[in-house]
Structure 1
Amino acid sequence: MPTDSPMPAEAQEAQGTQPRVDEREQAGGRWAVASGRWTVLAMSSMPAWTTLSDSLKGVPAQQGRPWDLRPIEQLDHIGAQLLWNHWGQAWPARLEMDSQHKAVLDQVALYTCSPPVEPTVTFAERFRHFAHNGTRMMFVARDFLGLIGQLVLDVGKLLRAPLRGPWRDFSGQIYQFGTTALPITALVGLLIGVVLAYLTSQQLRQYGAETFIVNILGLSLIRELGPVLAAVLIAGRSGSAITAQIGVMRVTEELDAMRVMGIPHGFRLVMPRVLALAITMPLISMWTSMAALFGGMIAADLSLDISPAYFLSALPRAVPMSNLYLALSKSAVFGILIALIGCYFGMKVKPNTESLGRGTTSSVVTSITVVILVDALFAVLFKGVGLR
């Protein structure tokens, strides 16, 4: 029968250096005695950590229990933090230890921070916080509705006292938004009409329905593509200009100077731009549709031998006048929305160049998105108007 061999010296030394806590009878009662090496290296192995955890659970931190740390061979900040947390971050009533261990424990006790206690928030406090701060979408809706309401009041003020209106600004904005935009809108409309006519002619030729190109081009360009294309161009051209103009006035503190002098922002800045785009957008939309129809007529003549005379004579029969009225009213709504969005983001610009660039970009993206959404809404609401 094999006999139990004595434990090797290395194993005895490793077991003696493991950190642990025991209860011992000493002078004055039962003491909690910590021994071994309370360092990261000694606690790094899983058996050592398990043994230390079990021994700490066996010696809970009770009020009035004395502790003896003199048998500890080595103590670093991790071991001291473990002891400090086990004591409930408070010194025991009686403590015996060496001076070097006391210096480490003093540092840990000095710089240990307790986690913040989350305050209990009632439903009424949450509701009050939401009412004051809310979500960003609610703030945007509130400010945008306030801008629309101020516009209505300014238009009423203009109707009561027309002679005091900013007519010079109004005429300048019409020239800036309308006249200077005619070349680019005509060029883009012409090219769109040519492309649409060539693509459509390839399909109609297969079925011998070449004459229906007048119906397709007339309805698509006059009713949908003309107003939307003009609105997208104006949103990128004039909407960004409105935001940049008002934003620069914010950066150079001209808006603050106007407020000090008693000049209302809505009456002198917002209203002229909104009315100018409300008038010019239907005209630009009709101009873009005419350019696109001209390009489509030329392409139809070259690809399908549809003469311009037949094209012009068949167009009124293919496209009822209600489509033109719908397109003009839709373009006016587009112009009002583009101007309002441009003015809103211009007013929200902060006095720095980074905010100016971000506001201009947001203005263009928002304007184009709103134009497409409103166009889809018009298409659903007036799906039975102008179609035979």
Structure 2
Amino acid sequence: MNDAAFLDEATGDSRRIVLTGRWTVAHIGPVEPQLRALPAGGSGLTVDLSQIERIDTIGAWLVHRLTRDHPGTTLTGASEDATRLIEQVGAADPDVKIRPDPGPRMTRRLEEIGRGVVGAVDTLGNFLAFLGKTLVTLAQTLFSRRSFRWNSIVHQMDVVGVHALGIVGLLSFLVGIVLAQQGAVQLRQFGAEVFVVNLIGRSTVRELGILLTAIMVAGRSGSAFAAQIGSMKLNEEIDAMRTIGLSAFEVLVLPRVIATSLMMVLLGFYGSLMAIIGGGLFCWLSLDMPVVTFVQRLQEVVPIADFWIGLFKAPVFGAIIAVTGCFQGMQVSGNAESVGQRTTAAVVQSIFLVIVLDAFFAVFFTALGFI
């Protein structure tokens, strides 16, 4: 069998290369480094393929590389099959863009920080615009005396509230036990175990009961809102609503916001009550405090203002959780991966906003004298 070979005929500024033999993977080994070593130069290069006995993909790749590395190369004498194979190999060899030098590490970090800040500001602006649109839709519904979609609201109240009673009650009950146990351990050093009731009552009614309930609702319902609306947007159901004249805010957002705000009041009260029951059970079993004594002491140390403060914060937390979940759902675009990313963002942002608002309310009500 004839191995691959070539003849290099140089005439002045032009060069003619005649390929001979079998240009296949079994016979091309010796000629490959010789082709790579061909010097560049000259005004043109002609490659004659008429003497080739057989050519496969490897041989076609070497011919294509030769023409690529020597611009202006002309192929002659190639059969129809060889020409088609060389063209296919060339089409499968796109130009590769070299990644630019990222620069110093400090510069890259500053760029990442800058992009993060710009993204955060942009998200905040879009969120405020979404919140404003929600409030405008609510005002239009109220003042135009259009009926709310009560079926949707009741359904969302069932999903957000009734279905969450188990998890909210269990976690609040356990948190109450933990709070009572840790408070008793610390207060026992000073012989002031009786003040465990103060700790349980005021912290759960005013702060922890509502806050923990809001965090659980954010993780459970806020994520569900983002996933549901995001899936609807991917399936173009929201575009279909707009086409037939329905407002996505009126159909999807308002029922969820109203239902979550209402149910947060009930869930917050329920969570606080379960935390008090958990703390009272610990006091009864571990501190030998009678239930009647615990209840009487609770009435003495917990002012009614704490109860109203907790109930005031609950609907605000519920509204912000629902708006955040719906907002992230509306931002879904591209593919299903975006649904997961927006769902995660909905949970993180909801919890963050709830904690920020809780801190604001704590400072605000303290400044008003509700200590």
Q: TM-score range by the shorter chain?
A: 0.5 to 0.7
Q: Deviations over 1:258-283 (max 9, x none)?
A: 01111001111111111111111121
Q: Which residue of 2 aligns with 1:234?
A: 217
Q: 1:325 to 1:241 in 2, by over 3 A?
A: same
Q: Give matches, 1:35-114, under 5 Å.
A: 102-103=41-42
CA distance in 1 between counterparts of 2:200 and 2:323 reads: 32
Over the residues paired in the alignment, what is the CA RMSD in angstroms? 2.6
| Structure with the greater alpha carbon radius of gyration | 1
Q: Deviations over 1:22-53 (max 9, x none)?
A: xxxxxxxxxxxxxxxxxxxxxxxxxxxxxxxx
Q: 1:186 to 1:157 in 2, by over 3 A?
A: same
Q: Which residue of 2 aligns with 1:244?
A: 227
Runs of 4+ residues deviating >6 angstroms: 104-111
Q: Which residue of 2 aligns with 1:310?
A: 293
CA distance in 2 between counterparts of 1:169 and 1:195 reads: 38
For structure 2, the 5+ residue unaligned runs are: 1-35, 46-67, 73-116
Q: Which moved more, 1:330-339 or 1:145-154?
A: 145-154
Q: Deviations over 1:74-130 (max 9, x none)?
A: xxx9xxxxxxxxxxxxxxxxxxxxxx674399999969xxxxxxxxxxxxxxxxxxx
Q: Which residue of 1 aligns with 2:178?
A: 195
Q: Does 1:359 align with 2:342?
A: yes
CA distance in 1 between counterparts of 2:69 and 2:142 reads: 76
Among residues 238, 245, 255, which one is paired with 2:238 in the alignment?
255
Q: 1:281 to 1:104 in 2, by over 3 A?
A: farther
CA distance in 2 between counterparts of 1:236 and 1:214 reads: 30
Secondary structure of 2:173 counterpart: helix
Q: 1:238 to 1:101 in 2, by over 3 A?
A: closer
1:194·1:295 contact (CA, 8 Å) conserved in 2? yes
Letter in 2 for 1:210: E
CA distance in 1 between counterparts of 2:44 and 2:284 reads: 95
Letter in 2 for 1:339: A
Q: Which residue of 2 aligns with 1:173?
A: 156
Q: Which residue of 1 aligns with 2:205?
A: 222
Q: Deviations over 1:180-223 (max 9, x none)?
A: 11111001011111111111112222222121111111111111
Q: 1:258 to 1:310 in 2, by over 3 A?
A: same
Q: 1:312 to 1:288 in 2, by over 3 A?
A: same
Q: Deviations over 1:234-275 (max 9, x none)?
A: 000000110111011112211111011110011111111111
Q: Which moved more, 1:375-384 or 1:356-365?
A: 375-384
2:205·2:310 contact (CA, 8 Å) conserved in 1? yes
Secondary structure of 2:366 counterpart: coil
Give the C-alpha shift of residue 357 in structure 1: 0.8
Give the C-alpha shift of residue 307 in structure 1: 1.2
Letter in 1 for 2:205: I
Secondary structure of 1:165 counterpart: coil
Secondary structure of 1:164 counterpart: coil
1:323·1:386 contact (CA, 8 Å) conserved in 2? no
Letter in 2 for 1:103: G
1:319·1:386 contact (CA, 8 Å) conserved in 2? no
Give the C-alpha shift of residue 340 in structure 1: 0.6
Count of residue pairs the alignment pairs up: 271
Secondary structure of 1:382 counterpart: helix
The sequence identity of aligned pairs, in percent, is 39
Secondary structure of 1:349 counterpart: coil
Secondary structure of 1:350 counterpart: coil
For structure 1, the 5+ residue unaligned runs are: 1-76, 78-99, 112-133
